[in-house]
């Protein structure tokens, strides 16, 4: 295949470049996002232990291997010690691996490029073969789909004793829980999307609902607090940490890429001296949340903003309201409820964008 040959020749050329002729020195030069060479003095301020090593292919692409003139060599001598040393063989082996994965995709009829000459079949034949494979597999796929929806009686995969009454695919590879193991496991992962099995089929269960077993042997649903996941302090006063009690505080709305959650901010109370601690704005931001308003009645997960930003770049026609509808659909899909205000989201998104830009400017000034 011509593509394969071309890719391998690129690798070979890259390898040849490393066989530097005597008298010429090579070194890695870092480029910034706009392709400008980052000065050595700036590199020297960035310790190797703090700067992420160029381990991804994208990061490697911004690095440029080029001959260094004597002039450049003199000006950069002081910064060479702090420059991350990249092993070219290691880099080439990673590139080889990535190219092999890409080539495997190319050989798949689903992903084959009709423009690749030398392919064994024409584009239309490959499409037809692919259609045939899908057609043959359809009955099996439908059977698998129906079987997956049947909530048969199984044992809890956590305690291996009690009957499983709940499924959580966010917990895979273990996904079936009894009512006790559900509470103990999801106290640590409160935002998981669980499904009840007590009715013989899977029903989405909001994190504010738990299942309990009554004395008559019947299962029932009851309300519970869904605590906002937070990095809470281990010590809030001078007393022993074992005296700290975690209780419910303010009820707020959390919005993430999976929609809206009704959550409770935890309040830590020392049972000895009655000191309390709850998260303030700085704690929320430190934990990856962003306030919709300064009193934090609604907060967003910041990755939601970066997804929205990316969406506005790749699909500029997508309206804010359409994005809100997607989030509301995901809320409903996972058994939760409630509206999401688009105006509040937009205002908060602009504030986040402003703060991110200001942070970037301050970082640049400091470095």
Nearer of residues 72 and 180 to Zn ion, judged by Cβ: 180
Nearer of residues 46 and 185 to Zn ion, judged by Cβ: 185
Q: Please identify which residue in the block is written with the tokens 């004793």.
A: 161
Considering the complex, what minimum distance in angstroms separates the CB of residue 212 from Zn ion? 14
Applying CB under 5 A, the residues found at the interface with Zn ion are: 156, 158-159, 162, 168, 170-171, 178, 181, 192, 237, 239, 270, 272-273, 275
Considering the complex, what minimum distance in angstroms separates the CB of residue 167 from Zn ion? 9
Rounded to an integer, what distance in angstroms lies between the CA atom of residue 28 and that of residue 16? 16
CA angle 181, 184, 156 (to 5 degrees): 10
Half-sphere exposure for 145 (CA within 13 Å, toward CB) = 6
In 48-124, the DSSP E strands lie at 63-67
Nearer of residues 111 and 159 to Zn ion, judged by Cβ: 159
Nearer of residues 192 and 251 to Zn ion, judged by Cβ: 192
Token pair, residue 112, equals 């084959």
Nearer of residues 253 and 270 to Zn ion, judged by Cβ: 270
Residue 270's CB: how many other CB atoms inside 10 A? 19
Asked if residue 270 lies in contact with residue 236, where contact means CB atoms within 8 angstroms, the answer is yes
Asked if residue 167 lies in contact with residue 195, where contact means CB atoms within 8 angstroms, the answer is yes
Nearer of residues 127 and 192 to Zn ion, judged by Cβ: 192
Residue 2's CB: how many other CB atoms inside 10 A? 10
Nearer of residues 120 and 272 to Zn ion, judged by Cβ: 272
Nearer of residues 207 and 291 to Zn ion, judged by Cβ: 207
Nearer of residues 233 and 360 to Zn ion, judged by Cβ: 233
Considering the complex, what minimum distance in angstroms separates the CB of residue 229 from Zn ion? 13
Considering the complex, what minimum distance in angstroms separates the CB of residue 96 from Zn ion? 38
Whole-number Cα distances in Å, 281 to 196, 233, 297, 355: 35, 15, 11, 14
User: What would the DSSP string read from start to end of 199-216?
Assistant: TSB-EEE-TTEEEEE-TT
Rounded to an integer, what distance in angstroms lies between the CA atom of residue 151 and that of residue 155? 12
Considering the complex, what minimum distance in angstroms separates the CB of residue 277 from Zn ion? 10
Considering the complex, what minimum distance in angstroms separates the CB of residue 63 from Zn ion? 40
Q: Please identify which residue in the block is written with the tokens 């959550």.
A: 263
Rounded to an integer, what distance in angstroms lies between the CA atom of residue 164 and that of residue 153? 7
According to DSSP, residue 20 is labeled: P
Considering the complex, what minimum distance in angstroms separates the CB of residue 195 from Zn ion? 10
Residue 176's CB: how many other CB atoms inside 10 A? 20
Considering the complex, what minimum distance in angstroms separates the CB of residue 142 from Zn ion? 27
Residue 92's CB: how many other CB atoms inside 10 A? 15
Whole-number Cα distances in Å, 361 to 46, 51, 113, 310, 349: 17, 18, 43, 21, 18
Considering the complex, what minimum distance in angstroms separates the CB of residue 238 from Zn ion? 6
């Amino acid at each position: 295949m011509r593509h394969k040959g071309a890719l391998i020749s690129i690798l070979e050329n890259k390898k040849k470049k490393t066989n530097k002729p005597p008298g010429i020195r090579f070194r890695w030069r870092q480029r910034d996002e706009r392709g400008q060479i980052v000065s050595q003095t700036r590199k020297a301020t960035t310790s190797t232990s703090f700067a992420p090593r160029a381990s991804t292919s994208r990061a490697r692409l911004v690095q440029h291997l080029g001959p260094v003139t004597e002039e450049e060599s003199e000006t950069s001598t002081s910064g060479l010690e702090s420059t991350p040393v990249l092993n070219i063989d290691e880099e080439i082996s990673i590139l080889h691996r990535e190219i092999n994965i890409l080539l495997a995709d190319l050989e798949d009829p689903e992903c084959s490029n009709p423009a690749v000459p030398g392919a064994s079949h024409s584009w239309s034949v490959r499409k037809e073969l692919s259609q045939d494979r899908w057609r043959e597999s359809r009955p099996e796929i439908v059977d698998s789909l129906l079987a997956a929806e049947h909530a048969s009686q199984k044992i809890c995969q956590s305690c291996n004793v009690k009957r499983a009454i709940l499924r959580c695919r966010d917990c895979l590879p273990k996904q079936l829980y009894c009512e006790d193991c559900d509470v103990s496991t999801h106290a640590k992962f409160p935002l998981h999307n669980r499904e009840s099995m007590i009715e013989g089929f899977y029903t989405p269960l909001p994190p504010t609902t738990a299942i309990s077993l009554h004395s008559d042997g019947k299962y029932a649903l009851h309300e519970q607090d869904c605590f906002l996941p937070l990095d809470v302090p281990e010590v809030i006063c001078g007393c022993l940490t074992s005296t700290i009690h975690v209780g419910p505080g303010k009820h707020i709305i959390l919005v993430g890429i999976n929609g809206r959650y009704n959550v409770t901010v935890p309040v830590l109370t020392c049972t000895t001296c009655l000191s309390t601690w709850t998260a303030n704005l700085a704690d929320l931001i430190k934990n990856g949340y962003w306030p919709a308003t300064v009193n934090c009645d609604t907060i967003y997960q910041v990755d939601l903003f970066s997804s929205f930003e990316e969406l506005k770049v790749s699909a500029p026609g997508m309206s804010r309201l359409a994005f809100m509808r997607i989030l509301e659909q995901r809320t409903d899909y996972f058994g939760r409820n409630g509206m999401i205000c688009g105006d509040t989201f937009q205002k908060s998104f602009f504030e986040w964008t402003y703060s991110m830009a200001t942070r970037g400017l301050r970082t640049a000034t400091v470095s």
